[in-house]
Structure 1
Amino acid sequence: MTNASPFDDIRRLITTMPGPDEAAIEAVRLRDRQLTKPAGSLGRLEWIAEWLAAWQGKPNPTADRPLVCVFAGSHGVTAKGVSAFPSDVNRQMLENFAAGGAAINQICAAYGLGFKVFDLAIDMPTGDITEAEAMDEKACVATMAFGMEAIAGGTDLLAIGEMGIGNTTVAAAIYMALFGGPAEHWVGRGTGLDEEGLKRKIAAVEAAVAHHREHLKDPLEVLRRLGGREVAAMAGAILAARLQKIPVVIDGYVATAAAAVLHAIHPSTIDHCIAGHLSAEGAHQDVLARLGKIPLLALGMRLGEGSGAALAMGIVKAAAAVHRDMATFGQAGVSERLS
């Protein structure tokens, strides 16, 4: 007989994750010093090249097979009137993705990004978190494992995003459980709630955290009780990417909730992740500050579906290309700075 929890496998997995490749970082810095530009003149682009190398474990980092994975889930808490749109939109948006009609389809096409969407039992809502658990442990771990398999086809750069009516409510509840503070600090207008809808959403987050309060010291319990399938799958994808040496670009408010859960287990768990953008939703800036992440973009977006991360991938691709293809002083016959 054993008292082992399904979550124990996740905890063990986290202890086996590789760290950054310091030799690859030094190789990037050495080449950078030889490129035809003043040292540091490309700012964060230079840092991005180092970040890619560190987590790919390659002295010549690449962004040749970028992939955007969007995970779609359905939430029982929508019955509390927390969204301006009905749950029927979930299925309709999946069909829109498949038809190539969504914003994310256009962004991926513009930047040459691979795109996959994963239907996480979209017609079967999770439990209403104001009065029940979203998932049991086995279901949560199984969904994380599904997210881990999302990158099985191969990629050298991953962006994670989501779609699911009601999931900004779920994310706000996760943040309140992890970080404390009043619900109104974490709750935003989501898909465009009016004042009455915003009040219902705040009340739902308060009720959810109160209902599960005795079980929220463990971040994985926070995930299964207050999260959704898309949040669990994104957490799984982040872990799998680390193990397979794939850097990760995180999308906005909801996607960051998956990273926040892993960060709460151990901060280094998301060292291979960068924040693609600063969402206009809720207190995303506060969350990113707590996670130690500086977003690449701040465009006032709050769409979700991986859109901000995909745009940021364009910058990452540019950083890799500049580092790889820019001429050195010697190649270009340009005089180096006098010492």
Structure 2
Amino acid sequence: MSEKKEYQDVWVFVEVKDHERIHPCALEILGKAREIANDLNQNLVAVVLALEAEQYLPVIKKHGVDKIIYLSHQNLKHYHERIFTDLVHELIEKYKPSIFLFPSTEAGNALSARLAYRCRTGLVSDVLDLDLEEDYADDLLLTDKPAYGGNIHVKIICPKTRPQMCTITPGTFKKKELEKEHVEFIEEKYHFDEDKIRIKIIGAPTRKDKPSAPLSEAKFVIGGGQGIGSEANFKKLYKLAKLTNGQVGGTRRPIFNDWMPEHLQIGISGETINPNLYIALGISGAIQHVVGITESDTIIAVNTDPNAPIFRTTDYCIVADANEIINGLLEYYKVEE
């Protein structure tokens, strides 16, 4: 491995989701990465691999980057582990970034893990905060993440190897638009031995139960927990969300009960949300769920237990049966409609 002093700049992997839009988590990370790059007096570099990658450059440019490295090819339309790993690893070897940040998504987690192995460096997953460890080294990244089922937070550094790598949970940071006066665009040529491709992606079907927008982008979220009581009651949340232009999410228990699909889970094992309003209905408030809602502007919780842990996190507490509140809201909005 090269000397650590040879490694410079803060990189962010900009994932293109469903080969049609930039994953919002990547734009969120760019805002925080800009702060880190400023503190280090280094460049912020976005890395994007996609079909017709050029179309995404104007959006990325508005988020404080100094440089954008991009590759464009038809084989980059969908994420392919072997192709993306080989190409991005070549970029790391060529440019030697000090810090490399990834969205904590299916593609981001897979790619970062493979790259960490290739680079023989460390990787911290599902990070909830970033800072610099100034007492140890000038460019040492300090990561903060939950551990032991979310019961504690741990701070982790990677002092001996580079690049320092981590994945960041969607919704952790706010998007910040800042367009630099000069942005350098670096186009790298696609080159990959097609004989190495053992699995070819011929299509990516759209999931029927997929929401119109991810929970991490929703402005109003209605969350349901075990206290909802039954699948029939839980279905009322979808009706309420439709009437209020909101989205439904929830805890792990409704998934176990087959009331809700897994991709709607909020918390450590699911999405981190930051809506204008989050209403928690029948949710006790385990830390595994709470860490996913703390960035919400306003939180209202409804629970029959006045000592429910969720009330320690919320702005407004309602001690009541969640189903009574749901039925009342449905009646109100139907009248208004």
Length-normalised TM-score, structure 2: 0.26
Larger Rg: 2
Question: Whose relative contact order is higher, 1 or 2, with alpha carbons under 8 Å and at least 6 apart?
Answer: 1
Length-normalised TM-score, structure 1: 0.25
- Is the helix fraction higher in 1 or 2? 1
